[in-house]
Amino acid sequence: MVPRPRLALALLASALIGAGVLAGAAAAPAATPDAASIRDADTAMIVGWASHDLTTMAAEETAFGTTNDMLSTYVDFVQSPDFPHDYADAAEARGAALMIAWEPWDWNRPADDQPEFAPRLIAAGDYDAHLTEWLTDAAQRTDDAEIIVRFAPEMDDSTRPWSSGTAPGANTPAEYIAMWRHVYDLKQAIAPEVVLLWNPLNFGAGPYPFESYFPGSAYVDALALDGFNWGYTAMTQAGWQSPDDVFGFSSPTGPVPRLKALAGSKPWGFAEVASAPDSPSDFQPGGPGYGAWGSWVYQWPENAPYETTADDWITQEGWSRMLLERARDSGASFVDFFHTVKETDWRLTDTAIGQGVLASGS
């Protein structure tokens, strides 16, 4: 069994000594009284990651020499309708929190052709039987691990049945709010210890800012943002962005200050975050990330008190360290890395230096 170091992921080491802890590895110990909780203001920031599956995660824990302190998984209403008890078992064994993206749609069908999952129908009670059964199962696991549910996340984007659009008959923020409040009321009646997490995207592609979807503090247990440094992937023309570019930590109008204003005294954090892998050639003369910007990062990389070397700006490893530092300093309760392959290889293990960060100790 791998020891449980008292650092945030043992992973991003000296910058985060005193952050969250991650217990045992594949053969994890039983849950302890100090099991991870985002609602405990006395504990340090929790750090975890979303893996492809539990088997992959256990192998990563062994490779990294630490344990995942916030497991993350996804379920929908059709292809994966049941509460994920296997993930709850794994969280309980590790003394970890469990974060579940609970998505009202069918993964296997086009997102723009599922009107049966419109928020107005969920708000009207059409899915109460399913919601009640799922929440009843969730309630049975809240003594085993903290259950955090990201219901209908990234609502400010434009690609899901619960998103808003501009076409006639499209969902509205008011309908999303009505849906959310209905689900929250059911949650309070059936599974009050479940944490319902309101979770927009940092800069959604939808027509409304994320504040338009906020159901009110009385209907939210915790809040989170999602956001990514897409780098020079085929998915975007944004180019390489620092953690501050992605989340606007230092700007009054940035996503983090805006989310914190809504959060008040409630816990908040990052539910999906990652950087694209770096390619050194991108930042050399002739590369897409060079030019005036790339030259400046190499010659004058200081951005006190955070980025102090070029590697802190333009490597996946440095980006992840800086994100954790900024999150901790901003008062985040948790950070969960999207540690998997999807649009690109978001894993820190894609390079030797990234794996070295995740496997490092204090």
What are the boundaries of each domain within the chain?
14-278+315-359, 282-311
Instruction: Give the pLDDT of residue 288.
Output: 85
User: Is residue 32 within 8 Å of residue 94, measured between CB atoms?
Assistant: no
> Can you give the pLDDT at residue 357?
52
Count of C-beta atoms within a 10 Å radius of residue 17: 14
Tell the CATH topology of 14-278+315-359: TIM Barrel (3.20.20)
Q: What value does the mean pLDDT take over residues 197-225?
A: 96
**CB environment 52-86: b (16+ within 10 A), e (fewer):** eebeebbebbbebbbbbbbbbbebbbbeeeebbee
Q: What is the pTM assigned to this prediction?
A: 0.88
Pair 357, 67: CB distance under 8 Å:
no
Name the band, by pLDDT with cuts 50, 70 and 90, for residue 358.
Answer: low
Give the residue, 5 or 120, on which the prediction is more confident: 120
Choice between 264 and 159, residue whose per-residue pLDDT is larger: 264
Q: How many CA atoms lie within 13 A of 346 on its CB side?
A: 20
Residue 13's pLDDT band (boundaries 50, 70, 90)?
very low
What confidence score (pLDDT) does residue 86 get? 98
Percent of residues, the chain, with pLDDT higher than 70: 85
pLDDT at 239: 85
Give the mean model confidence (pLDDT) for residues 165-189.
92
* Torsion sign (Cα): 132, 198, 261, 271: positive
